[in-house]
Structure 1
Amino acid sequence: MNAPAPRAAKVTPLSGFPEYLPAERIVEQHFLDVIRETFELHGYPSIETRAVEPVDRLVGKGGDADKEIYGVSRLAGEEGEGGEAELGLHFDLTVPFARYVLENAGRLSFPFRRHQIQKVWRGERPQEGRYREFTQADIDVVDVGELSPHFEAEIPLVMAEIFQKLPIGRMTIQVNNRKIPEGFYRGIGIDDVAGTLRIVDKLDKIGPEKVRAMLLEAGRTDDQADRCLALAAIRTEDLGFVERVRALGVDHPLLDEGLEALSRVITTGMENAPGAMVADLKIARGLDYYTGTVYETQLEGHESWGSFCSGGRYDALASDGRTTYPGVGISIGVSRLLGLLLGRGLLTASRSTPACVLVAVNAEEDRPRSNRIATALRARRIPCEVAPKPAKFGKQIRYAERRGMPYVWFPGAGDDGTDQVKDIRSGEQVDAEAGSWNPPAEDVRPQILRADA
């Protein structure tokens, strides 16, 4: 008696690890292409770092990030192996980039700029817009000893150009300088700058009344709490923020430095990307290593989703004990942004395949002719697919329709045996030669469509 066949294991999705259908993947690839091409237009070469770093380095650079690190260990480890994992998957691209700079400093030309588009992993609770595995796209500029401040103005311009090219609506880059709140807080007698920044950073989440209560609970006076909120309320698209800060009557050398630095960034933005940047003095960025300009970016109409693109200046990206490498960088949360746009149906692709032409097959013995036509079209960079079966032409047309392909090519369909191509949207069918026919430019590649367009 034969034993019963084992039951197939049930396939269930893993939350926090997004996988896209073909049409969604086309949207993602369009975003990645635009991002990469724009990075390269600004002279940022690409690097790729390994997926794992020593856990002690990840923990040391990430504060309490050890709670989110995925440890990596061998399932079939040798005897004696065990205990806590020594390697972990990187949770951002800054930590591996800092290590990369230290390891390759002798072979890099400084100031060194790079772009990096890779997966990262965080073991946090999955929810809308937050994933365990996701793609980030970073640019950074790093130098030896000192970094010219003009890079702090140039970095957000790259992002402004990307956002202009993507079909996503208006993205506003909010800019601040950490020296402004630090100098301001010290000027009103607050010594715990980091603690105050962390509280003020919650403004968008809990509102000014609760932030004020938290400031008082942390030992700030009524006057100090009111002044902190007054500073955080300042937001301008021009240099008006300087006068508004001065009107608060606080003096401190660090505050002067921060206002001057932020003025340079906003001036550069006004000259090169009008309306793309605003001075927003509530932006703090929670990570302690930011020391100068900081950035956050929101999608207009979807502010509740928070920032999709953030970063800042850090005066000690990496150090080998003798040399310090300061830098400035910014990162796009590609998966986070797509999670909103695709999940809410705000973007879609015009078709689920890169092919714009289906080459029909009259009969199986005629497939070589269809293959030759497809080869000729591809040689001229016209994406196409050969029909999988020599079915009735109505079925082959429906095959193309279901995938969004706008054209079907019929070998020898003309009265004199010439080929014909049909636009299945309009029904128009004309004679065509594979060596000269061209579809409209907008049909060659899938188009990314906005729901509100």
Structure 2
Amino acid sequence: MTPPAQKVTPISGFPELLPAERLLELHFLDTVREVFELHGFAPLETRAVEPVERLLGKGGDADKEIYGIRRLAGEDTGRESELGLHFDLTVPFARYVLENAGKLSFPFRRYQVQKVWRGERPQEGRFREFTQADIDVVDVGTLAPHFEAEMPLVIAEAFRRLPVGEFRIQVNNRKVPEGFYLGIGLTDVAGTLRVVDKLAKIGPEKVAAQLVEAGATDEQARLCLALAGIRSEDLSFVDEVRALGVEHPVLDEGLDALAAVIRAGTEQAPGTLVADLSVARGLDYYTGTVYETQVVGNEEWGSVCSGGRYDSLASDGRTTYPGVGISIGLSRLVHLLVTKRGLTASRSTPAAVLVAVVDEDTRARSVAVAAALRARGVPCEVAPSAAKFGKQIRYADRRGIPFVWFPGAGDDDGDQVKDIRSGDQVDADAATWECPAADLRPGVVIPQH
């Protein structure tokens, strides 16, 4: 008796890519890893699970996002129910630093590219399972401020190598709004930041009303909005803040620190870094610089790369490890470029060559050709059947494979290779034939509008 067919339905928030999209994502991953390593960041991978109590200790309302795990078979010791999948890479990294501090050289520079899981409501560009690519620098006791300027410059270099298009890295510093709010008499810094963070969603009038409702005067609310309205690609933001007439030592520290980051940006990546004093997200737990990155033209998508400085990334009660880091939402970025910009890979397979099979009796010759090409670094596959050559060429064309190799098609039983895009077919030897560099690996196709 044939079992009933089971209906297969996708699970919301857990994306699965088609081969061409996955090849595009791998191109992004390879590029990001290369840039991170060029800057001396060491690779790291941490376990997928952490004790739930550790996950709850970071990230604010993380208890609403954690996926708990339990063993479905075998003896249940109760320990499994206390574990959860990590919702970011910062919490496991902080734990890793504490566990391995005696084996690490500080300042420790690491990069980490892994899946993370969040139990939030999925929506466009926001998933329950996705890949993040993080870099962090952590030190013992104190962390030099120049690392805060380095983080966005590494990201800028990676993004310039990728088909991201125009982007902006928005930078703020926790001490700027903190010192400003204290200077105008508002002591609930975190609460004020949470209200100001709603500016893009609800507008200035409602933000002002909520600030007044929380205890601010009309003048204090006006000054908060005036601060959040300051944005510049150069150091002019310092004078604009000063013109508001607010003074406080913490504000001075913040302006100096933010100016150092923007100055480094104007020198090394002009037009990429923007001092944006409306950026408030994350400032209630970051202690210094904070970053958000938007793709120009798709600002509604939100930030695709964010991070900041923690003065207490990790602590064992005796020693404190401050750190600064930034994280690319890689799945989010790729999904944006695929769905909004139409990016894809130039083919759905890594193979650059399809080795044709004349007939099944000579398949061994085709396999030998493929082995010779692979030994020289040329990705290829052997035709699945000895069909007519026209059918084998169509097989290659459907997959985007640019070359078809014909064993024995040349003079004196030599081989030939055909570029199926141009129709050019020439004599070739698997021991010497050079695949054009542009065709060796799948490329990125950017639609022309």
Alignment TM class, shorter chain as reference: over 0.9
Cα separation, 2, equivalents of 1:195 and 1:311? 20
Which residue is 2:423 aligned to?
427
Pairwise CA distance, 1:206: 2.0
Which residue is 1:250 aligned to?
246
Which residue is 1:91 aligned to?
87
1:75-110 CA-to-partner distances (Å, cap 9, x unmatched) read 12536749x920000000000000000000111111
Question: Within 5 A, what are the aligned runs for 1:313-328?
Answer: 313-328=309-324
Which residue is 1:6 aligned to?
3
Which residue is 1:31 aligned to?
28
SS of 2:413's partner is coil
Task: State whether residues 293 and 312 of structure 1, in contact with CA within 8 Å, keep that contact through their aligned partners in structure 2.
Answer: yes
Alignment-mate amino acid for residue 229 of structure 1: L
Distance 1:340 1:79, change over 3 A: closer
Pairwise CA distance, 1:345: 4.7
Distance 1:287 1:135, change over 3 A: farther
1:19 counterpart = 2:11: no
Cα separation, 1, equivalents of 2:162 and 2:272? 14
Task: State whether residues 234 and 241 of structure 1, in contact with CA within 8 Å, keep that contact through their aligned partners in structure 2.
Answer: yes
Cα separation, 2, equivalents of 1:288 and 1:322? 24
Task: State whether residues 187 and 252 of structure 1, in contact with CA within 8 Å, keep that contact through their aligned partners in structure 2.
Answer: yes
Alignment-mate amino acid for residue 23 of structure 1: A
1:73 to 70, 74, 87: 70
Cα separation, 2, equivalents of 1:246 and 1:345? 41
Task: State whether residues 346 and 452 of structure 1, in contact with CA within 8 Å, keep that contact through their aligned partners in structure 2.
Answer: no
Which residue is 2:229 aligned to?
233
1:299-321 CA-to-partner distances (Å, cap 9, x unmatched) read 00000111000000110011101
Pairwise CA distance, 1:276: 1.2
Q: What TM-score do the two structures reach when normalised by structure 2? A: 0.98
Which residue is 1:267 aligned to?
263
Distance 1:80 1:146, change over 3 A: closer
Pairwise CA distance, 1:51: 0.4
Which residue is 1:40 aligned to?
37
1:303 to 284, 291, 299: 299
1:400 counterpart = 2:423: no
Which residue is 2:372 aligned to?
376
Pairwise CA distance, 1:63: 2.0
1:361-418 CA-to-partner distances (Å, cap 9, x unmatched) read 1011111111111111112211111101011000000000000011111111124322
Cα separation, 2, equivalents of 1:141 and 1:80? 38
Task: State whether residues 282 and 290 of structure 2, in contact with CA within 8 Å, keep that contact through their aligned partners in structure 1.
Answer: no
SS of 1:176's partner is strand
Task: State whether residues 311 and 331 of structure 1, in contact with CA within 8 Å, keep that contact through their aligned partners in structure 2.
Answer: yes
Cα separation, 1, equivalents of 2:77 and 2:109? 43
State which drifts further: 32-41 or 219-228: 219-228
Pairwise CA distance, 1:156: 0.8
1:161 counterpart = 2:157: yes
Cα separation, 1, equivalents of 2:140 and 2:341? 46
Distance 1:202 1:452, change over 3 A: farther
Which residue is 2:448 aligned to?
452
2:116 to 88, 106, 120: 120
SS of 1:416's partner is helix
* Structure 2 gap ranges (5+): none
Cα separation, 1, equivalents of 2:342 and 2:324? 32
Pairwise CA distance, 1:438: 1.5
Pairwise CA distance, 1:216: 1.7
* Structure 1 gap ranges (5+): none
Identity among equivalent pairs (%): 73
1:104-124 CA-to-partner distances (Å, cap 9, x unmatched) read 011111111100000000011
Alignment-mate amino acid for residue 16 of structure 1: G
Cα separation, 2, equivalents of 1:280 and 1:139? 22
Task: State whether residues 142 and 321 of structure 2, in contact with CA within 8 Å, keep that contact through their aligned partners in structure 1.
Answer: yes
Pairwise CA distance, 1:287: 5.7
Cα separation, 2, equivalents of 1:123 and 1:58? 13
Alignment-mate amino acid for residue 61 of structure 1: K
Q: What TM-score do the two structures reach when normalised by structure 1? A: 0.97
Cα separation, 1, equivalents of 2:447 and 2:359? 41
2:194 to 195, 198, 206: 198
Cα separation, 2, equivalents of 1:80 and 1:293? 44
Pairwise CA distance, 1:189: 0.6
Task: State whether residues 201 and 286 of structure 1, in contact with CA within 8 Å, keep that contact through their aligned partners in structure 2.
Answer: no
Pairwise CA distance, 1:435: 1.4
Cα separation, 2, equivalents of 1:149 and 1:79? 48
Which residue is 1:276 aligned to?
272
Question: Within 5 A, what are the aligned runs for 1:147-158?
Answer: 147-158=143-154
Task: State whether residues 111 and 142 of structure 1, in contact with CA within 8 Å, keep that contact through their aligned partners in structure 2.
Answer: yes
Alignment-mate amino acid for residue 166 of structure 1: L
Cα separation, 1, equivalents of 2:437 and 2:378? 10
Task: State whether residues 35 and 162 of structure 1, in contact with CA within 8 Å, keep that contact through their aligned partners in structure 2.
Answer: yes
SS of 1:430's partner is strand
Q: Over the residues paired in the alignment, what is the CA RMSD in angstroms?
A: 1.3
State which drifts further: 342-351 or 116-125: 342-351
Task: State whether residues 175 and 293 of structure 1, in contact with CA within 8 Å, keep that contact through their aligned partners in structure 2.
Answer: yes
Task: State whether residues 193 and 283 of structure 2, in contact with CA within 8 Å, keep that contact through their aligned partners in structure 1.
Answer: no
Task: State whether residues 355 and 383 of structure 1, in contact with CA within 8 Å, keep that contact through their aligned partners in structure 2.
Answer: yes
State which drifts further: 277-286 or 47-56: 277-286
Pairwise CA distance, 1:210: 1.9
SS of 1:452's partner is coil
Task: State whether residues 266 and 277 of structure 1, in contact with CA within 8 Å, keep that contact through their aligned partners in structure 2.
Answer: yes
Cα separation, 2, equivalents of 1:254 and 1:242? 14
State which drifts further: 21-30 or 427-436: 427-436
1:417 counterpart = 2:413: yes
